[in-house]
Chains A and B, each alone.
Chain A
């Protein structure tokens, strides 16, 4: 069976729920591309997640309104033990899967193993969380540049990007 077409599925679903204005998903004809210019074994890797990853017992919030779908960027210490990491997201298929294993959507432990195995040079000190925004412009013009600046500050060569 082929993969799920979520754009079509959600349009039909929300129509059946009484929402008549379909969501306009982001679309671009041109796609930017950066070639990797050095061996992976020399690369420091960042992890960037939109999965509302939080740390138990630690307030990572940098903007009191960021839960209101207004976007926002925050840093997650990369050495956080995995038993303290979890996701606050409700936007996953809770009938089919679970968020109980953080590595199924935020592979921090798998990245640390890749460092130990010598596959990559290292990971950044901070991983990055980005909240969703109703406004795509806000993500593009405010949050994405903030992610770039934090990655540069942390010496990231490449980024693994994960939703939930």
Chain B
């Protein structure tokens, strides 16, 4: 969801004269929406700007994003960052499977609370 929101806002900024670059982990969601420039890091959701605590890589990623701002001359420009997740590729098979529930325990309760809040706001005509 946050990849979609960031893409929608990015489109609006582009429409109004502000060049943007989206740094993303969920490439398909951003491409489905359609943005001017996307730097894709093939990393788990949560690390779209480089691996945690890898300052060198984060610096390189931001530099790639800057370079896209300087060089892209058409919308839907996607650059694939040449980084490989250091802990292997297993997460790609396991994400959103029964083996690795997306939300559980407290997270799930929090998610359900937010859903209920939304429902009640909607019922009150506030959204």
Contacts and interface: CB of A to CB of B under 8 A. Distances in A.
A139 B24 CA distance: 19
A7 B28 contact: yes
A133 B97 contact: no
A20 interface: no
Contacts of A136: 4, 8
B62 A31 contact: no
Tell me what chain A mostly uses at the interface: helix, strand, loop, or mixed.
loop
Interface string B2-34: 111111111111111111111111111100111
16 contacts: A4-B28, A7-B28, A9-B95, A25-B29, A25-B32, A69-B114, A93-B95, A95-B100, A103-B50, A103-B55, A103-B58, A132-B5, A148-B18, A158-B19, A161-B22, A162-B23
B36 A65 contact: no
B119 to A, nearest CB: 9
Contacts of B49: 103-107, 110, 162
Contacts of A55: none
A78 interface: no
Given A91-B45, A105-B47, A134-B118, A6 B92 contact: no
Contact of A1 (B27, B52, B89): B89
Given A9-B96, A32-B36, A50-B9, 5 more contacts: A27-B34, A50-B5, A93-B91, A119-B63, A144-B8
A51 B27 contact: no
Contact of B9 (A69, A106, A144): A144
A22 interface: no
Nearest to B110: A90
Interface in B42-56: 42-55
A10 B9 CA distance: 22
Contacts of B75: 31-33
A49 B85 CA distance: 22
A92 B62 contact: no
Contacts of A93: 44-46, 91, 95, 100
Nearest to B17: A34
A163 B3 contact: yes
A50 B70 CA distance: 24
A1 B8 CA distance: 28
A101 interface: yes
A36 interface: yes
Contacts of A156: 18
Nearest to A7: B28
Shortest Cβ-Cβ A-B pairs, 9 listed: A92-B46, A144-B12, A68-B117, A101-B52, A31-B75, A93-B44, A96-B44, A96-B91, A50-B2
